[in-house]
Structure 1
Amino acid sequence: MSQVDVDQFHGIEIGEFPARIAEVSMWMADHLANNAFDAVFGMTPPRIPLKQSANIRHGDALEVDWAEVLPAERCSYVMGNPPFIGAKFQTEAQRAQVRSIAGLPGSGGTLDYVCAWFLKAVAYLGRSQARIGFVATNSICQGEQVAQLWPPVFRAGWEIAFAHRSFVWDSEARGKAHVHVVVVGLAHAEAQPAEKRLFSYPDAKKPAEETRHGALTAYLFEARIASARHLVVTNASAPLGNAKRLDIGSQIIDDGIMTFLPGAKRDFIAAEPQSRPYFRPLIGADEYINGTERWVLTLRDAPATLINASSLIKERLAAIRAFRLKSARKSTLASAEYPSRFALENIPDEPFLVLPRVSSERRDYVPFGWQLPPAIPTDAVIIMLGAAPYDFGVLTSRMHMAWLSHIGGRLKSDFRYSIGLVYNTFPWPTPTDAQRTKVAALADAVLAARACHPTASLAILYDPLTMPADLRAAHTALDRAVDRLYRPEPFASDRDRVEHLFTRYAALVDPLLAAGPGANARTARRTKAAGASALARRA
């Protein structure tokens, strides 16, 4: 009656001792399964003496030929928990492995190490009816990695058959490691289930909520247009529609030589009083969100006589020049010739909207807002010049937050805002004049609610535990108004919002996707016919 035995399991383990431990662990698992079998059927399959054993190969799974361990035609499932190593933390050998398996040129992109297992599994199984299931970092389903990993998987004919969306996986080891993971299961298109199971964790303390769908995207939400299930969001050089452009703040690149905390600034001015007019406040993500204070000595408009007369300033300029000359970047090396200037200067002379590039995942809203000159934004923030209250209202809404949290990348688990991937790809609504005016008024109400708490930093105001009731109410009213710019019916959740936005994005970047597969087929036929006519004319 028992159709499963331990010798049906095959594995590859890079460590020799862990490989042997794995063999013993499989016997223990077999014993537990036999006990469960006995509890149900009243009999225990004979296992003693231990004749069967799991086949655990000692070797590097990315170097070993999997077909030598088990021929693909005999494989039913490929599963595991591959190593989680980000692109920046891989060794040269590991990056070379990923680059080779993914077929990526140059440095090999920004793929996590775990991505190589997905690609190797797909290549190993070909058009098999076997299934693939891996635990992976949630970064493979968000940010720039999506466009690198998933298109080759889809081109090979594999579909997402089931998935567990991002959740915190607690290790049982000492000093628990809280890792944000996903579980993704794949099946070949020829053997895929009609319904794709999706497990979501809106409340980390409660069991997963299961939903079933006809098609899932690489972002682990439903593809409401089945023809768009393979669509991935890629970096764009300009925003969709007529949205205003964003820009990065100034890159100082001075090793902190010209930036000062308040005490250090006072000491420098005491030693060099003529430097006082050239100190300006710096606004990075930390200064903006937490209300901390930092200053920069800006010398681009300072007279040469002042610089030449100050040994303190000349010493610092010499140190900046030496620091930049150590860089491998051509732009930084070029800026070494102008040590009194920032490496990249973006100094607004008008009010500017600030968008922090990194913000805590705990916040329901990334706190955006205005700053005034003489403040200088650093490259830790993104800025918009000429921003109107309507722009602020849409950007600070749940609609935009849903796009950021599902499409944007993460730094550890924090939200990572980017111009090319998040802002430039965001599908803006098309409001009437009356709707635009209402959203602008409600956006002003959010700023007014903030102003009622002048001693609180944005970190305090947007902490979900300490967010004032009047500020949350103002955001809720704004969210409802922005939601109605997209459709009259209310949205049930952020996932509902991003699925709607994804459909709009598909229509904007490729209208044929929104028209469905029939339109693609008709266009292909027209293109083929036009090509044949052109060949006939040339002949």
Structure 2
Amino acid sequence: MACWHRTAAEFLNGHGGDIAFVSTNSICQGQQVTPLWKPIFEMGYHINFAHRSFVWNTESEHIPNVYCIITSFSQKEWPSKKAWEYTGRGVVESTPAILNGYLADAPTVFIDRRTKPISDVPPMSQGLKPADGGCLLLSSEDRANLLGEEPQAEQWIRRFSMGEEFIKGIDRYCLWLPNITQEELAELPAVSERVEKCRIWRSEQTKTGDAYKLSDRPHLLRPTKKFEEGTYIGVPKVTSERRKYIPLGFVRNGMIPGDKLYFVQSDSLTVFGILMSQTHNAWMRAVAGRLELRYSYANTIVYNNLVFPDTTDLGSRSIEDAAQRVLDARKTYPDASLAELYDPNNENKYPELTAAHQALDKAVERAYGWELDDLTWDEKETFIVSSLFELYSQKVNAE
């Protein structure tokens, strides 16, 4: 689909005319934006109207729904642009001043993958991708059965979570054996059996793949260089587009993050507060990829390119206090999972949490020097995204 955009732009280059395509939404998300839209914009084209991500329904029983956008662009910029946003709150029509390659009302800036944060903040890493054939991962039932057979194995079992388990509060476990000795392993025949099954499975995989390369270390779920013991902030990779906030949380119980869970090894309430705010989530909505309509987070695109505020001690304390208030509000609903707490249909059920997030949003906005109290949620979103693109542009130009 991207080739048709480029071909049409080259065909009409200098001849006038408007181009419009229905396409998959991926061409205006994440890593796809720069290689497609940068050369088109350099030819002098402007995006003049856009229908942002929506579902193209089909009546067929066998063809899945397609997640689409509609873009119109030409070398003559329209004096009035149009955009339609399809959200859980319905269709929102707007008249943006600019439509950039992310279909955001923001400066024309291109976000490239970055291996390190652009701001002075702790790095965010992707969790461990299991390559074990299911031998080292345990359900609650598996764990109970293993401990029933071998109670002394308990010290070698850790909680494990992908993004879905993290959000929904589903218990899952793994054998965590990086420090086990051969003597200790020999005393655990049931655990040894699982390790041996892992070795056999890995040795049968494609020789150029990661799993085969780990066949000489069958006790390891994955090499653990990036993961250190201690507190971290868990960030699910995939989350519903209906949510205002990605459900993040501190992990202090030694849980091992899977590859669908990013982690920031820090106990900083300031970092947590900024990531939990509308500001970070607005940036994420603008630049992240999508999985169907769901947000697909990437540390190299979203976190590493977010310009954090230069907080004063007072600003940092305000964010910390507001972030702690969010955590305290969650504790008042001990039986609710993060999925339930951050379901937009449940806002009225958790008034303390809603109020805490409103206070946190204001604290973060003020740390950036913004006063947005008189704006609606959607107006704030537009302002925040535009401002963050501008801050990113300034930061990149100053490097």
Same structural fold, with TM-score higher than 0.5 when normalized by the shorter chain: yes
CA distance in 2, matches of 1:352, 1:333: 30
Give yes or no for contact 2:48–2:81 (8 Å, CA) kept in 1.
Answer: yes
Task: Tell me which of 197, 208, 228 is aligned to 1:319.
Answer: 197
Report the residue type matching 1:233 in the other structure: I
Shift of 1:348: 3.2
- The equivalent residue for 1:150 is 37
1:83-124 deviation per Cα after TM superposition (whole angstroms, max 9, x unaligned): xxxxxxxxxxxxxxxxxxxxxxxxxxxxxxx21221222233
- 1:92-491 → structure 2 map (5 Å cutoff): 114-171=1-58, 179-188=66-75, 192-201=76-85, 209-213=93-97, 215-224=98-107, 229=108, 231-325=109-203, 326-327=205-206, 329-345=208-224, 346-467=226-347, 468-490=350-372
Alpha-carbon distance change, 173 to 248 in structure 1, aligned in 2, over 3 angstroms:
closer
Alpha-carbon distance change, 328 to 499 in structure 1, aligned in 2, over 3 angstroms:
farther
Give yes or no for contact 1:332–1:343 (8 Å, CA) kept in 2.
Answer: no
Shift of 1:494: 1.2
- 1:40-51 → structure 2 map (5 Å cutoff): none
Shift of 1:455: 0.9
1:444-469 deviation per Cα after TM superposition (whole angstroms, max 9, x unaligned): 00000000011111111111112311
- 1:72-91 → structure 2 map (5 Å cutoff): none
Identical counterparts, % of pairs: 30
Rg larger in 1 or in 2? 1
Give yes or no for contact 2:105–2:385 (8 Å, CA) kept in 1.
Answer: no
1:322-355 deviation per Cα after TM superposition (whole angstroms, max 9, x unaligned): 3333135454332111111122325432111111
- The equivalent residue for 1:499 is 386
CA distance in 1, matches of 2:301, 2:207: 26
CA distance in 1, matches of 2:159, 2:388: 38
Alpha-carbon distance change, 175 to 206 in structure 1, aligned in 2, over 3 angstroms:
farther
Shift of 1:172: 5.4
Report the residue type matching 1:180 in the other structure: Y
CA RMSD of aligned residues (A): 2.3
Alpha-carbon distance change, 210 to 358 in structure 1, aligned in 2, over 3 angstroms:
closer
Name the count of aligned residue pairs: 390
- Which deviates more from structure 2 when the two are superposed, residues 198-207 or residues 418-427? 198-207
Give yes or no for contact 1:127–1:157 (8 Å, CA) kept in 2.
Answer: no
Shift of 1:134: 0.3
Shift of 1:425: 0.1
Report the residue type matching 1:410 in the other structure: R
Alpha-carbon distance change, 204 to 275 in structure 1, aligned in 2, over 3 angstroms:
closer
Give yes or no for contact 2:102–2:287 (8 Å, CA) kept in 1.
Answer: yes
Report the residue type matching 2:77 in the other structure: P
Alpha-carbon distance change, 166 to 495 in structure 1, aligned in 2, over 3 angstroms:
farther
CA distance in 2, matches of 1:123, 1:388: 50
CA distance in 1, matches of 2:227, 2:370: 41
Give yes or no for contact 1:390–1:436 (8 Å, CA) kept in 2.
Answer: yes
Give yes or no for contact 2:125–2:263 (8 Å, CA) kept in 1.
Answer: yes
Alpha-carbon distance change, 484 to 159 in structure 1, aligned in 2, over 3 angstroms:
same
CA distance in 2, matches of 1:313, 1:432: 51
Shift of 1:263: 1.4
SS in 2 for 1:362: coil
Report the residue type matching 2:367 in the other structure: L
- The equivalent residue for 1:10 is none
Give yes or no for contact 1:389–1:444 (8 Å, CA) kept in 2.
Answer: yes
Give yes or no for contact 1:298–1:341 (8 Å, CA) kept in 2.
Answer: yes
Larger RCO (CA within 8 A; separation ≥ 6): 2
SS in 2 for 1:466: helix
- Which deviates more from structure 2 when the two are superposed, residues 153-162 or residues 419-428? 153-162
Alpha-carbon distance change, 386 to 223 in structure 1, aligned in 2, over 3 angstroms:
closer
1:200-236 deviation per Cα after TM superposition (whole angstroms, max 9, x unaligned): 23666766524152x4211112345xxxx2x210111
Report the residue type matching 1:332 in the other structure: A
- The equivalent residue for 2:396 is 509
Give yes or no for contact 1:252–1:344 (8 Å, CA) kept in 2.
Answer: no
SS in 2 for 1:332: helix
SS in 1 for 2:129: coil
